[in-house]
A and B are shown apart, each in its own frame.
Chain A
């Protein structure tokens, strides 16, 4: 691995890098260098492939699915001891409530994507705002905000999510907010730390001595250089969100309608059929794991690509 400061032109260290071998005066930016490293990382490519397929399925679920989701249209064919398996009409058979399992799984991707994106976005927005205020303003603002973050971090994230969900009631939106809430202190801490690390960097001193306002220095100079770890964390949270929804479902929180097409819920609701119809729990379980794996691989690879010192 080459040890080159951001913007210093990573081409110098690695003669095998095709396009960058022609050194341009502007050098290679941190992000462009990272992208080049990602393209050569098999873990990153695997992760990106999984994520792309997942997003495509989520977006085009209505076109791909043969039936309407969460319909329980064939509920009369399901008995407590038996769920009809694969047939000509139903590629993977029915689910425990009499909906088409294949349809439910496709629409489950959509639900997972919505929950993941909304909760990550929310947690990122609030957490980054806190981190920005703490790291950017400093002083007593920093002290007060970081004490609040310490308090939130002292509660295990699952319990924090549960507490929030208890206040907001049993809806799918409350689950998204709950998962986001558990991520807020992490994002806040991360961005603050990242900003503080930049505080005495040469370019910050240069910008300040040019007489730029503090707000400009923080927002246009320090913030863009501090976002790396936050973006990595956001990718990883997309993975944990998928798993955490399942955990919250297991605890009886979230969308009250049992037939809804959501992987975590499908997994939980068919656990008692594991011995007779294992596919009902195994398939959503596998899809949760696979999706989380995709985002994790991508996030980890991104972390390494952005930090040349980090070795796998």
Chain B
């Protein structure tokens, strides 16, 4: 198992080198002078000159690349052209909010998606099945930020005769009037750890709508993958054997169908991680959550290249690590993977 993990980690190295080369080339491909691109429009001639010397834009390309990678390895991802804050700080500030949101969104998607997909498959061809398939198709075709706005309008602001539905907070992560202690900056977790139940409840209420908006696409995908996997497994010989030897239907479902059907589902859940991060860019701003997504949104709209460059690298790294974890989990669920 350790060997497997190490080999997978080693496979990440060429991808990361390639990515650093790509991002390095990217900044140099941006329109205009790279120093000006890194500094933003309002830069003075003097600061442009400073950055040119600092990053060595006047030196040969290979030297520039090695100093860029050297800086990365020292943990220096550059600074925002807008605020001057180091990119690493921006990432650390935004991480708890986004991680909390993403975990909740994924929890929502998994908790609802697997049972829905399972029951749709077990009642294959019925109205429930068709309804689930139809709804899951709808889930992937609505633009994420639009869904977020609609949810906010109906369930937070409230519209016309339906304004009694507007029970959720419209924005932020917690009511500022609540005097909450923050240890981890994961507000929900903080509330539970400190046993400040009102703070935890308030943080949870703030998470509901953004998590539903962000979790809808993963939910739709998980439903469909689960359904297809369960349908596949139900036709297998070992399920028929289990039925023939008179096992209880619930035992067959649990030990034979579900366990085998979950394998592709686990892979899919891992692959959703990248989707959740791009989704966060489109939902956090709607609910005024100061996470990675909102920071990225600002970086994109203001063309803050160092932030974009650093965040893309960090996100790709996280994505790779999450998928590595999924592969390890795969080995835990499926003994065949462990052995080979």
Contact = CB atoms under 8 A, between A and B. Distances in A.
Interface of A: 147-148, 150-152, 154-159, 162-163, 166-167, 169, 239, 243, 246-247, 250-253, 264, 267, 271, 274-275, 278, 281, 285, 288-290, 292-293, 296-297, 300, 310-312
Given A150-B18, A154-B15, A166 B143 contact: no
Given A150-B18, A267-B146, A156 B275 contact: yes
Contacts of A150: 14-15, 18
Interface in B175-211: none
B301 A252 contact: yes
B145 to A, nearest CB: 5
B286 to A, nearest CB: 9
Nearest to A292: B141
Contacts of A169: 31
Nearest to A167: B29
B22 interface: yes
Given A167-B31, A247-B145, A155 B282 contact: no
Interface stretch (B97-105, B254-262, B313-321, B325-333): B313-321
Q: Which of B143, B144, B305, B308 has the most CB of A within 10 A?
A: B143
Which DSSP category, helix, strand, loop or mixed, fits chain B's interface? helix
B300 interface: yes
A219 B248 CA distance: 53
A45 B232 CA distance: 25
Contacts of A166: 30, 300, 303, 305, 308
B232 to A, nearest CB: 7
Nearest to A143: B14
Contacts of B18: 147-148, 150-151
B90 interface: no
A167 B153 contact: no
Contact of A147 (B15, B29, B275, B305): B15
In this complex, the member of A163, A264, A297 whose beta carbon has the largest number of chain B beta carbons within 10 angstroms is A163
Interface of B: 14-15, 18-19, 22, 26, 29-31, 133, 137-138, 140-146, 149, 153, 157, 159, 228, 231-232, 274-275, 277-278, 281-282, 296-297, 300-301, 303, 305, 308, 311-312, 315-316, 319-320
B137 A253 contact: no
A235 B168 CA distance: 38
A253 B297 CA distance: 11
A275 B159 contact: yes
A139 B300 CA distance: 39
Contacts of A156: 274-275, 277-278, 315, 319
B301 A271 contact: no
Contacts of B278: 156-159
B146 A285 contact: yes
Given A157-B278, A289-B138, A297-B137, A251 B297 contact: yes
B141 A271 contact: no
B269 to A, nearest CB: 16
